[in-house]
């Protein structure tokens, strides 16, 4: 029996598109047909060897207070672990699910959650590239970190809507994201922005 490890990391480029982000490690076990052995269930394991502080940035009550009713049953934090990205960049995602039964194998219900990513850029050119990529069509936010942008999405291709605030600080950027079903009207683009700015301002950026 052989074991093949495939590392799949979801970078901020996917966050910019408003999709689900995170990092999963899939371990696939296989056997030959002649063995007639039962198929082993895939097991996922987060890489927790390095902590960029994504799950330590915020007090849970701060999140609940800012988000209001949508976060009444806030779960977590759920650590998605470290993701290795192109060019030496790395990131860590932490998820606070709005509903129960949240675990690593179901991505802590990221499409119905508040989540935060700490992204560590390997170079100035890396973060400059990100800033250029996200500048178009985004609302500039001042007074947080070295600058920030806000945007919301509710594409027809997905069943959820997302509200995102990206904060820049040195060679890091922090992404604060709310994802909820399209049918949930407890937050809109304006109220979500107010909540995310309140949350982001509670963090000390270094």
Q: Are 145 and 118 in contact (CB under 8 A)?
A: no
Q: Given a cut of 80, is residue 40 above it in pLDDT?
A: no
Q: Given a cut of 80, is residue 147 above it in pLDDT?
A: yes
Q: Given a cut of 70, is residue 5 above it in pLDDT?
A: no
pLDDT, residue 26, reads 26
Kindly indicate the confidence band of residue 43, based on its pLDDT and cuts at 50, 70 and 90. Answer: low
pLDDT, residue 14, reads 36
Q: Is 32 helix (H, G, I), strand (E, B) or coil?
A: coil
- 39, two tokens: 């198929």
What are the domain boundaries of the chain?
2-201
How many angstroms separate the CA atoms of 93 and 119, rounded? 9
When pLDDT is averaged across residues 9-24 and rounded to a whole number, the result is 35
Q: Residue 86 class from Cβ within 10 Å (0-12 exposed, 13-18 middle, 19+ buried)?
A: exposed
Q: Which residues of 108-189 form beta strands (DSSP E)?
A: 113-120, 139-141, 148-153, 160-169, 172-181
Helix H or strand E encompassing 193: helix 189-201
Q: Whole-structure pTM over 0.75, yes or no?
A: yes
Which of 20, 31, 17 is closest to 138 using CA atoms? 17
pLDDT, residue 2, reads 37
When pLDDT is averaged across residues 52-81 and rounded to a whole number, the result is 95
Kindly indicate the confidence band of residue 38, based on its pLDDT and cuts at 50, 70 and 90. Answer: very low
Which range (28-42, 85-99, 177-191) has the least confidence? Answer: 28-42
Q: Given a cut of 90, is residue 178 above it in pLDDT?
A: yes
* pLDDT tens digits, 57-69: 999 999 999 999 9
Residue tagged 């998820």 (tokens): 95
Q: Given a cut of 50, is residue 19 above it in pLDDT?
A: no
DSSP symbols for 166-188: EEEETTEEEEEEEEEETT--S--
Residue tagged 């052989």 (tokens): 2
Query: What is the average pLDDT score of the chain?
Result: 81
**For the chain, percent of residues with pLDDT exceeding 90:** 62
More confident residue, 21 or 111: 111
Which range (18-32, 42-56, 70-84, 166-180) has the least confidence? Answer: 18-32
Going 67 to 174 to 9 to 25, the CA torsion angle's sign is: negative
- 99, two tokens: 């509903």
């Amino acid at each position: 029996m052989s074991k093949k490890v495939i590392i799949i990391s979801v970078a901020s480029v996917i966050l910019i598109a408003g999709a689900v982000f995170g990092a999963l490690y899939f371990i696939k076990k296989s056997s030959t047909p002649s063995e007639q052995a039962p198929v082993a269930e895939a097991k996922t394991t987060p890489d927790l060897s390095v902590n960029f502080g994504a799950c330590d940035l915020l007090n849970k009550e701060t999140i609940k207070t800012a988000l209001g009713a949508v976060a009444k049953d806030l779960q977590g934090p759920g650590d998605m672990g470290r993701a290795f990205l192109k060019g030496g960049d790395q990131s860590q995602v932490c998820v606070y699910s709005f509903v129960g039964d949240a675990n690593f194998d179901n991505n802590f219900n990221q499409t119905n959650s508040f989540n935060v990513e700490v992204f560590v850029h390997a170079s100035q050119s890396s973060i400059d590239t990100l800033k250029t990529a996200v500048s178009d069509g985004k609302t500039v936010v001042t007074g947080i970190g070295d600058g920030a942008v806000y945007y919301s999405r509710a594409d027809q291709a997905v069943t959820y809507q997302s509200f995102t605030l990206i904060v820049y600080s040195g060679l890091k950027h922090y992404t604060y994201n709310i994802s909820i079903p399209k049918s949930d009207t407890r937050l809109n683009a304006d109220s979500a922005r107010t909540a995310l700015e309140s949350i982001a301002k509670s963090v000390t950026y270094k």
